[in-house]
Amino acid sequence: MRASTDIDRPEGRRPLLSIRWTIFGAFALMVLAGGAVSVLLGYTLTSDAVIGEAQRRVEQDLHSAWALYDQQLENVRHTTRFVSILRRSQDVLSGQASGGEVDDLRRRLEAIRNRAGMDTLTLVGNDGRTVMRTRAPYTNGDIALMDPVRRDAVLTGSAAGTVRLPATVLAADGAELLERATIEVRPTPMASSTVERLESDGLMIEAAETVSDDAGRPLGMVVGGILLNRNWSIPDAIRDTVFRNETFDGRPLGTATIFMRDVRIATNVLGEDGMRAIGTRVSRAVEDVVLADGKPYRDRAFVVNDWYLSAYDPLRDLDGKVVGILYVGILEAKFLGYRTRLIQSFVWLTAAGMLIALLFGLAMALWLSRPIRRLTDAAMRMAALDLNARVPTSGGVFKDLHTLNHAFNQMADNLDRESEALVRSNAALQSSNANLKQLNQNYMDMLEFVTHELKSPLASCLFGVGSLKEGLIGQPNGEQARVLDAVERNLEYLNEMILNYLNLSRIEKNELRFEPRSLSFRKEVLDPTMEQVSRQVYATGMFVAIDVPEDVMVKGDRDLLRIVMDNLLSNAVKYGRHYSTIRVWHEELPSGVQRFRVQNEGRGFRPADIEKLFRKFSRLDVAELRAKRGTGLGLFITRQIIERHGGQIRAETRENQWAMFVFDLPGG
C-alpha cells in the first residue's frame, strides 16, 4: 500500500509562478535590454567609424597634396640650380657678356622657364639689382625685393620656399602676373567679415641659387618661381590624383585649395554659380586655429556653401610666418548618407536578431522546464525508499521546486548508501593521481630530451651569427650588423631558456649532478662568468666593480656555481639602469662561511615581492619588468643550487634605487 505523503498535499500557500515562463520572461528582458544597448552602441560606433575613417582618409589625402606641392617646389629648385651653373649666366652677371650674348641667354632662359611651367626666372646681381628678366617687358635695373628665400640664398647659397610678394614686385615681373594675382575678395558664409575688397598680392613658390665664378666668388643669384594665384594645376592635380574625379550628387566629391592667408587664390571648390570660388574666404573656425594659432585643423568645416570633412595645414615662409593654407576636403553628405543607411541596416538586423532570440528563448524555457519536471518525478521515485524524511516546504515560489524540495527531503536518508560509491570514486581518484604523476614524469623526460637536442643546433647558430658579425665571411654593413645583433640577442635568449628548462628538468627529476670540491671562487667561477656576460654589460654601458680576492676558496660544484653567477649577473644587467655600476663583493663570516653579494642600481622591487622572486615561473607584476623577456626560472634554479650546497640566498632592495642578492657558501 502506497504511503501517504505531503507531496500529494503540499502545505501552505501554493506557488504561483511557473519556472517555464519565469525563465522566458527573464531571457526576454535581457534580450530587449541588450538589443537597446546594442542599437545605441551600434549607432555611436558606426557613426564614429564611418566619419572617423573618412576623416583619416582626408588626412592621408593632405599628405598626398603636400607631396604634389613639394614636387612643384623641387621643380623650381632644380630649374634655378641648372640655370645657376650655366657659363653664360656667369658671364652676364659678371658683365663679360656682349649684347648679343645677353639677348641669346634671355631667349634660352625664357624657353627653359616655359618648359618648366614657371612664371618667373630672373638674374639678380650682387648689388641687389635685377640684371635680367625672362618675361615681357623684360625690365631690369630695379632693386629686387629681398624676401626670405633670397635672403637665405645669400647666406647659404641655395634656398626654396613659399613667399608672399607685394603687387609692386609682381608688376615689375610682368603686368600679366599682376593681373593674375588681383582677386576680388567675396563675402563668404561662416567666414570673418570682409574688410578688403581687392587682393593684389601674390603667393609664390620660389627658389634662389647663388651664381659664383670659377674662384667661388658670388656674382649674384638666379631666382625662379610659380605664381599660385589662379594657378589651377596644383589643386586640380591633387583632385585628379587623390580623388580620381569622384562625384556625389553631380558635385566633385573631393576638393583642394591654396589660400593666401584666408583668401582662396587657387581652388576647385565651386560656388553657387558653378564657377571656381576664387576670392572666397576660409571659415572663422579654421582661421582661428590655422592662421591665428599656426596649428593644423582636422575636422568638419563649412567650405563656401557646404560641409566638408577637411584637413588644413598652414603654409609658412622660411621665417616661419603663416602666409597661407593648404586644404583638402571631402563632401560630408556622402558619408552621412552612408552612415544613415548603415545604421538602418544595423537596426533592422538587430530587430530580426532579437525576434529570433526571443523565439529561441521560448524554446529554451520549454526545454529547460521539462528536465526539471523529469528530475522531480525521479526524485519522488527515489524518495519512496523512506517516506519519513521531511523539510519545511512552506513559502516556496516555484511549484516545481516546491515538489522537488519534498523529494530531496526523502533522499537525505539514502545518503549512507552512496558511501560505497564514494569509496569506489576515491579509488578511481587515486588511480588517476598515479596516472598524473606518470604523465608529469613523461613530461619532464620529454622536456629534458627536447632541450638537450636543441642545445647543439642553437650553439651552431650562435657561432654562425658571431662569425658573420666578426666579418669572417664578409664584412656586414650597418643595417646587417643591427639585424645580426638582434638575431644574436634572440639566440642568446633561447639558449638561456633552453639551459633553464634543462636545469629545471634535472631538478624536478632529482638528477642534478653535484660534484663539490675545493675551488677558487674568483678564478674558477666569477671570472669565466664575467667573460660570458661581458657583451651584455658593454651593450648597456654598465661597469662591474668586483671586490672578491683571488684567494677566496669555497667548497662547491664549479659548473653549478657558474650557473648561479650567470643568472645573478645577467639579471643585474637586464634589470639595472644603463650606465650604472654593478657591484660584486665578498666577506668571510666568523663561522668560516663565505658570503657574496651582487648589487645593481635600478628599479628594484617591492619588499613584499621578495618571496615571489624565487618561485618557479614567477615574474613580478611591474610594468618596467614585464617588458624584459625571461622564463621566470633563473632565480628558482639559483636557490635550488645554493641550497644543494648547504647555503642560503636572499634578496634585499630599496625601491627605485637598488636590488641586491646575498648568498652563502661553505668555505673550502
To which residue does cell 615581492 refer? 609
Q: According to the model, what pLDDT value does residue 400 have?
A: 59
What DSSP assignment string belongs to 479-527? HHHHHHHHHHHHHHHHHHHHHHHHHHHHHHTT------EEEEHIIIIIH
Q: According to the model, what pLDDT value does residue 485 have?
A: 64
Residues contacting residue 52 through CB under 8 Å, at least 6 positions apart: none
- Statement: residue 336 has pLDDT above 60: yes
Q: According to the model, what pLDDT value does residue 136 have?
A: 86
All three cell numbers of 171:
608688376
Domain 513-665 of CATH type 3.40.190.10: no
By CB atoms closer than 10 A (0-12, 13-18, 19+), residue 611 is: exposed
To which residue does cell 587664390 refer? 265
Q: According to the model, what pLDDT value does residue 579 have?
A: 92
- Statement: residue 12 has pLDDT above 60: no
Q: Which of 67, 69, 65 is nearest to 310 (CA)?
A: 65
Plot region of 493 (φ>0 → left; ψ -120 to 50 → alpha; else → beta):
alpha
Helices and strands, number each (H, E), in the chain? 18, 21
Domain 395-511 of CATH type 1.10.3720.10: no
Q: According to the model, what pLDDT value does residue 158 have?
A: 94
Q: According to the model, what pLDDT value does residue 54 have?
A: 78
| H helix intervals, 231-293 | 233-238, 284-286
All three cell numbers of 352:
530580426
Cα three-residue angle 515-517-519, rounded to 5 degrees:
130
Q: Which of 589, 587, 604 is nearest to 660 (CA)?
A: 604
d(CA 137, CA 139): 6
Q: According to the model, what pLDDT value does residue 208 have?
A: 95
Rounded mean pLDDT, 185-196:
82
Average predicted confidence (pLDDT) for the chain: 80
The shares of helix, strand and coil residues in the chain, as percent rounded to the nearest 5, are: 50, 20, 25
Residues contacting residue 541 through CB under 8 Å, at least 6 positions apart: 578, 579
Every domain of the chain with CATH number 1.10.287.130 lies at 395-511
Plot region of 505 (φ>0 → left; ψ -120 to 50 → alpha; else → beta):
alpha
Rounded mean pLDDT, 224-241:
90
- Statement: residue 50 has pLDDT above 50: yes
Contacts 24+ apart (CB under 8 A), 648-651: 649/614, 650/610, 651/605, 651/610, 651/613, 651/614
Q: Which of 195, 199, 264, 204 is nearest to 235 (CA)?
A: 264
d(CA 617, CA 626): 13
- HSE-CB at 318 with a 13 A cutoff on CA atoms is 20
Distances 613 to 207, 583, 605 between C-alpha atoms, Å: 65, 20, 10
- Statement: residue 375 has pLDDT above 50: no
Every domain of the chain with CATH number 3.30.450.220 lies at 53-337
Residues contacting residue 641 through CB under 8 Å, at least 6 positions apart: 512, 557, 560, 561, 563, 564
Say which DSSP state 593 is in. Answer: -
Rounded mean pLDDT, 102-122:
92
Distances 165 to 116, 205, 433, 520 between C-alpha atoms, Å: 21, 10, 90, 83
Q: According to the model, what pLDDT value does residue 278 have?
A: 93
Domain 53-337 of CATH type 3.30.365.10: no
Q: Provide the pairing of β-strand 202-212 with 120-125.
A: unpaired
d(CA 542, CA 222): 55
d(CA 216, CA 451): 70
Residues contacting residue 459 through CB under 8 Å, at least 6 positions apart: 495
Indicate the pLDDT class of residue 4, thresholds 50, 70 and 90: very low
d(CA 302, CA 286): 9
421-454: per-residue pLDDT in tens? Answer: 666 677 777 777 766 665 555 455 555 545 555 5
Is 16 in contact with 362 (CB distance < 8 Å)?
no
β partners of residue 319: none
Cα three-residue angle 625-629-634, rounded to 5 degrees:
90
Other Cβ atoms closer than 10 A to 267: 25
Q: According to the model, what pLDDT value does residue 351 have?
A: 80
Plot region of 42 (φ>0 → left; ψ -120 to 50 → alpha; else → beta):
alpha
By CB atoms closer than 10 A (0-12, 13-18, 19+), residue 123 is: buried
70-107: per-residue pLDDT in tens? Answer: 999 999 999 999 999 999 998 899 888 888 889 899 99
User: What are the backbone angles phi and psi of residue 411, rounded to the nearest 5°?
Assistant: -75, -15
Range name among 310-319, 392-401, 596-605, 642-651 with the lowest pLDDT average: 392-401
Residue type, 622: V
Every domain of the chain with CATH number 3.30.565.10 lies at 513-665
User: Which is higher by pLDDT, 510 or 92?
Assistant: 92
d(CA 366, CA 361): 9
Range name among 186-200, 343-357, 529-543, 617-631 with the lowest pLDDT average: 617-631
β partners of residue 599: 583, 660
All three cell numbers of 202:
601674390
Q: According to the model, what pLDDT value does residue 7 have?
A: 45
d(CA 5, CA 7): 5
550-586: per-residue pLDDT in tens? Answer: 999 999 888 888 888 888 998 898 888 999 999 999 9
User: What are the backbone angles phi and psi of residue 489, rounded to the nearest 5°?
Assistant: -65, -40
